[in-house]
Amino acid sequence: MSGADKKRVVLIIQARMGSQRLPGKSMMDLAGAPLVGRILERVKRCQQLDEIVLATGDTPENKVLAELGRSYGVSVYEGSEGDLVERYFQAAVASKADIVGRLPADNATPEPSEIDRIVDHHLRFNRPGFSSNLSVINDSGYPDGIGAEMFDFSLLADARERNVDVRQREHVHLNFFDYTTQTPVNAVWCPISTIACPPGFRRPDLVLDVNTKEQYEFMRELYEYLYPRNPAFHITDIIRWYDEIYVPSMKPAR
């Protein structure tokens, strides 16, 4: 692809302080830094992104997130609290995105090389579509939470105009693909694709989201063990820790 034809890829990370299940999780501590800060630290190692945007709500309680994003040197967009489609659309317009990447701020261990892989995969298509290794699609084998979604700005603009359902406006991916049912919204309008997870960390059983207090405690233990040993720890390090240290520690003593 020539320089003139190169599509601008912007990763947008959605974060807010008012999570219903775990309020304030975005600023909860992981080995000495806020959860969202750790996410930004990791995605800044990606090689295939033209810009990273932290997109948060335009309410007073979210100002701390906007300040955090700026302190990490990424762009910040403050927009609709509840209408995520609108927030993504306006953030994408502001950053002049051709390809929009989506990463929820409850995925605390994004893997930079796997985000780069899904970007490369998506850019090989000659038509708009939705590509993801954020979670399992068609038996791709990915752990839940180490990749990202990529979709063309034109499709986001279409979804903004055509979909008024509250749930679709709140959950961007439901405008394109439903992970629960593994079904596309409209495969003709928006083809769905993925890549196979490398065999070394093909672990669809592993969930690396932070949506509950229990999941936060799990992630806190993960970071406390791995981060001091290697701040750029890899998903294979996570799996080794999980299988050799965390799971055995959960077994009741005899």
Strands (E), 33-181: 33-34, 51-57, 75-79, 99-104, 130-132, 149-152, 177-178
Q: Does residue 71 sit within a domain?
A: yes
* Angstrom distance (rounded) from CA 164 to CA 86: 11
| Rounded percentage of the chain residues whose pLDDT exceeds 70 | 97
Q: pLDDT class for 4, splitting at 50, 70, 90?
A: low
Q: Does residue 3 sit within a domain?
A: no
Q: Does residue 133 sit within a domain?
A: yes
Q: Does residue 2 sit within a domain?
A: no
User: Nearest CA to 103 among 15, 185, 222?
Assistant: 15
Q: Does residue 128 sit within a domain?
A: yes
Handedness of CA 79, 158, 115, 193 (dihedral sign): positive
* Angstrom distance (rounded) from CA 155 to CA 160: 9
Q: What is the mean pLDDT of the chain?
A: 95
Q: pLDDT class for 206, splitting at 50, 70, 90?
A: very high
- Here the tokens at position 91 are 């953030």
43: β partners: none
Residue 201: the pLDDT is: 98
Q: pLDDT class for 132, splitting at 50, 70, 90?
A: very high
pLDDT at 3 over 60: no
Q: Are strands 149-152 and 130-132 parallel, antiparallel or unpaired?
A: antiparallel
Cβ contact 106:15 at 8 Å: no
Domain with 165 in it: what CATH number?
A: 3.90.550.10
* Angstrom distance (rounded) from CA 194 to CA 204: 14
User: Nearest CA to 145 among 242, 24, 65?
Assistant: 242
Residue 100: the pLDDT is: 98
* Angstrom distance (rounded) from CA 101 to CA 98: 10
Residue 72: the pLDDT is: 98
User: Which residue blocks in 44-127 are alpha helix, DSSP H?
Assistant: 63-71, 84-94, 112-123
Q: Torsions phi, psi of 242, nearest 5? A: -60, -50
Residue 253: the pLDDT is: 56
| Rounded percentage of the chain residues whose pLDDT exceeds 90 | 89
Could you tell me which residue, 1 or 174, shows the higher pLDDT?
174
Residue 2: the pLDDT is: 46
Question: Which residues form the domain of 121?
Answer: 9-250
Buried b / exposed e over 123-159, threshold 16 CB at 10 Å, is beeeebbbbbbbbbbeebbbbbbbbbbbbbbebbebb
Cβ contact 142:135 at 8 Å: yes
* Angstrom distance (rounded) from CA 171 to CA 222: 28
Residue with tokens 């945007």: 53
Residue 187: the pLDDT is: 96
Query: What's the pTM value of the predicted model, to 2 decimals?
Result: 0.95
Q: Does residue 4 sit within a domain?
A: no
Domains in the chain, number: 1
Could you tell me which residue, 172 or 19, shows the higher pLDDT?
172
Buried b / exposed e over 185-216, threshold 16 CB at 10 Å, is beeeebebbbbebeeebbbeebebbbeeeebb
Q: pLDDT class for 1, splitting at 50, 70, 90?
A: very low
Amino acid code (one letter) for 187: A
Residue 254: the pLDDT is: 52
Average pLDDT over residues 84-112: 97
Q: Does residue 1 sit within a domain?
A: no
Residue 165: the pLDDT is: 85
